[in-house]
């Protein structure tokens, strides 16, 4: 079985799939596409025109959640809990992670100071919700075992490495368990290796080009 992950360098949903593939210890090829200039072959395998897509030999599986579930159904070790209720709980928090990604996008696209601050407070509130459900002893979402929820939040927390480098901090001040979880995920090889070495620089340039309030602050700090 040949596995090819159709990718975009900055896509957090691609990172999820890459993390799960790495945790499974399975060989795969990664193939990047330019989403601003989508080739015809990509349109043929991605009905929604988005990454990631996993090619299993010649069959295409699209949408990150579906890809991750397929991989957990077919490859060991299992990243979902064995108990059905706990699996449902984990899947719910995976969806929560997607909502956090939407708020992150709203943060870096915020048109003015007021909107940026509102999104900052919303993100801090999301992390307080996570703080309430994380175990006292980690290091991961459900304790010692790395799970699919961890694969979702590794890419979430990676954004804040860049935000903090730009002077945007304080998101985790009231959430010590989330801070510890973030640190543990950043040290996990599968999470570290889910992006290219120049990811931070590419994300910084992406943020600079948004024309949003954060972009203007970046220009004040270090004009292009």
**DSSP letter string, the chain:** --EEEEE-TT-HHHHHHHHHHHHHT---EEEE--TTS--HHHHHH-TTS-S-EEEETTEEEESHHHHHHHHHHHSSSP-S-SSHHHHHHHHHHHHHHHHHHHHHHHHHT--SHHHHHHHHHHHHHHHHHHHTTS-SS-SBTTBSS--HHHHHHHHHHHHHHHHHHTT---TTTT-HHHHHHHHHHHH-HHHHTTS-TTHHHHHHHHHHTT-SHHHHHHHHHS--
Q: Please report where in the chains the tokens 């985790």 appear, as a residue.
A: 172
What CA–CA distance (Å, rounded) separates 138 from 181? 7
In contact, 150 and 134? CB cutoff 8 Å? no
Asked if 68 is an active-site residue, the reply is: no
What CA–CA distance (Å, rounded) separates 169 from 171? 6
Choice among 3, 5, 6, 11 that is catalytic: 11
Known catalytic residues? 11
């Amino acid at each position: 079985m040949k596995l090819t992950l159709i990718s975009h360098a900055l896509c957090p949903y691609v990172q999820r799939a890459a993390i799960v593939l790495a945790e499974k210890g399975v060989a795969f090829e990664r193939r990047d596409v330019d989403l601003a200039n989508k080739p015809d072959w990509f349109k043929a395998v991605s009905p929604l025109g988005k990454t990631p897509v996993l090619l299993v030999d010649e069959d295409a599986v699209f949408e990150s959640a579906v890809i991750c579930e397929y991989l957990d159904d077919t490859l060991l070790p299992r990243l979902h809990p064995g108990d059905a209720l706990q699996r449902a709980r984990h899947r719910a928090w995976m969806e929560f992670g997607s909502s956090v990604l939407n708020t992150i996008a709203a943060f870096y696209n915020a048109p003015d100071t007021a909107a940026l601050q509102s999104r900052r407070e919303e993100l801090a509130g999301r992390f307080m919700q996570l703080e309430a459900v994380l175990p006292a002893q980690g290091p991961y979402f459900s304790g010692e075992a790395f799970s699919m929820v961890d694969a979702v939040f590794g890419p979430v927390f990676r954004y804040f490495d860049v935000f903090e480098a730009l002077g945007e901090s304080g998101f985790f001040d009231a959430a010590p368990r989330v801070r510890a979880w973030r640190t543990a995920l950043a040290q996990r090889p599968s999470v570290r290796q889910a992006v290219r070495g120049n990811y931070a620089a590419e994300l910084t340039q992406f943020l600079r080009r948004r024309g949003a309030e954060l972009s203007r602050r970046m220009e004040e700090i270090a004009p292009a």
